Homo-oligomer: A and B are copies of this chain.
């Protein structure tokens, strides 16, 4: 954003570079070997640092991966954060369909790293916890959107926004995993059915 780094000492700049080298190397190694088979050994070799150096910047393998994972998930979160202030049911439909499409397209784009994320979730408690945290962030954001529609008389006011948001997110997340794991590339059928059922069920 602003001119960061500019006020840093050379030493600090170097440190930042080392850190970034580890991150880059980590990404490459995780993509190539998956989470479990990736070793710190491979990562530091690729980053040309010593064993200890990796532990200066990251508590452990999981933390390094989580950093990488957050980068990717931020891209997903940008989609969730898209402004959502529809004036009508049909506008809501358009916006939601658009959002779902972007979300699933992103899954296709980030397929490889997401496969590793899926694996890591099952293997590392820390990664799993991080994932849960990310998920709640998504659900919270969706809950806000649902409430907006209810407050503006577009959506059924008796439904529990939090539960609906969760259900909706769950369906999206699961299709996302399916796309990632089964190498699915055509998503339009999913996009439209998902959106229709959701808006049909939620909106007036």
Contact = CB atoms under 8 A, between A and B. Distances in A.
Interface stretch (A17-25, A73-81, A107-115, A171-179): A171-179
A98 interface: no
Given A164-B193, A201-B202, 4 more contacts: A159-B197, A164-B197, A170-B171, A200-B202
A26 B199 CA distance: 46
Contact of A170 (B159, B164, B170, B196): B170
Given A201-B196, A201-B201, A160 B174 contact: no
A156 interface: yes
A72 interface: no
Given A123-B123, A170-B171, A174-B174, A197 B202 contact: yes
Contact of A160 (B121, B123, B175, B189): B189
Contacts of A202: 197, 200-201
Nearest to A196: B159
A193 B166 CA distance: 11
Interface residues on A, range: 20 to 34
Q: A interface, by DSSP: helix, strand, loop or mixed? A: helix
Nearest to A178: B166
A170 B168 CA distance: 10
Contacts of A197: 159, 164, 167, 198, 201-202
A126 interface: no
Contacts of A196: 156, 159, 201
A16 interface: no
A8 B44 CA distance: 23
